[in-house]
């Protein structure tokens, strides 16, 4: 009697899939971020002190911010450390000047559907996610540089 | 049917498994989540053990049976 099994299957499916947040894709609107001037190209980076590639991504993002900040580029670093001292120690070793925010309740990470650390979302001037970077290598930094320049050329 | 549903929901609800999202892995890195109280002391004990037993290679801690490294 398959019609009897279908409600059970539906309940199981709902319960099992409910915690799986949908990952934000390129082309979708980025969730609202406080502290960023409207009309800027923004790179939202989820990082933590325990994330090994973040040791590479943070100085690279700082360099990109210094290079393109005046032209309308901003970086928002969302810290995912449980212990605040860990992030403080990390930032002493790798100082950055871009905006840093905390996400203690995981609200931002959930709304972006972060699937890896670090994850970066390049958002254009209209607030649309144009590129998602998961992980970080030297190649990512070079790609990002080109993508930022291209987005900065787009009209407001 | 209702019993089957209740059983299914109950079995899922009492499960001790919880998915850990990539951004929540900091919780796993907490000192109280480690197997050992003190990683340094554990490593020292392991070194003495492999030196006494001449049983190097049984764990991830490096060392030889001579206890000289």
pLDDT of res. A90: 95
pLDDT tens digits, one per residue of B9-55 = 888 777 777 788 999 988 887 778 878 888 788 888 888 888 888 77
What does the alpha-carbon distance between residue A51 and residue A135 come to, in Å, rounded to a whole number?
10
Domain layout of chain A by residue ranges:
36-153
The mean pLDDT value for A60-77 works out to 96
pLDDT of res. B69: 44
pLDDT tens digits, one per residue of A105-120 = 999 999 999 999 999 9
Which residues lie closer than 8 Å to B37 by C-beta, 6 or more apart? none
The CATH fold assigned to A36-153 is Glutaredoxin (3.40.30)
Q: A95-99, A142-146, B24-28: which has the minimum mean pLDDT?
A: B24-28
Token representation of residue A103: 């996400």
Domain layout of chain B by residue ranges:
39-69
Task: Determine which of A6, A9, A11, A107 to mutate to test the interface with B (most B C-beta atoms within 10 Å).
Answer: A11
Considering only the beta carbons, identify the residue of A8, A82, A114 that sits closest to B30: A82
Q: Tell how strand A99-102 and strand A119-123 pair up.
A: unpaired
The residues of A carrying an active-site annotation are 51, 54
Q: A30-44, A73-87, A102-116, B24-38: which has the minimum mean pLDDT?
A: B24-38
The three-state secondary structure class of A24 is: coil
Contact A28, A129 (CB under 8 A): yes
> What does pTM read for this prediction?
0.73
The answer, yes or no, to whether residue A55 has pLDDT greater than 50, is yes
């Amino acid at each position: 009697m398959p019609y009897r099994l279908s409600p059970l299957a539906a309940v199981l499916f709902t319960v099992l899939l409910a915690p799986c947040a949908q990952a934000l894709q390129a082309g979708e609107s980025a969730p609202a971020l406080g502290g960023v001037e409207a009309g800027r190209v923004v790179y939202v980076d989820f990082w933590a002190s325990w994330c090994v590639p973040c040791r590479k991504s943070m100085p690279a993002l700082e360099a990109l911010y210094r290079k393109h900040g005046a032209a309308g580029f901003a970086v928002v670093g969302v810290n995912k450390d449980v212990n605040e001292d860990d992030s403080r120690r990390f930032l002493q070793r790798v100082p950055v000047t871009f905006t840093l925010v905390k996400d203690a309740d995981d609200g931002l990470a959930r709304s972006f559907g972060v699937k890896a650390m670090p994850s970066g979302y390049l958002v254009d001037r209209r607030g649309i996610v144009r590129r998602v970077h998961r992980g970080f290598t030297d190649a990512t930094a070079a790609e990002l540089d080109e993508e930022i320049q291209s987005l900065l050329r787009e009209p407001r | 049917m209702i019993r089957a549903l209740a059983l299914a929901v109950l079995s899922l609800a009492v499960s001790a498994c919880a998915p850990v999202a990539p951004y929540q892995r900091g919780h796993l890195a907490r000192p109280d989540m480690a197997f050992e109280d003190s990683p340094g002391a554990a490593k020292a004990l392991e070194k003495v053990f492999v030196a006494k037993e001449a049983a190097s290679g049984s764990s991830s801690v490096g060392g030889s049976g001579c206890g000289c490294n």
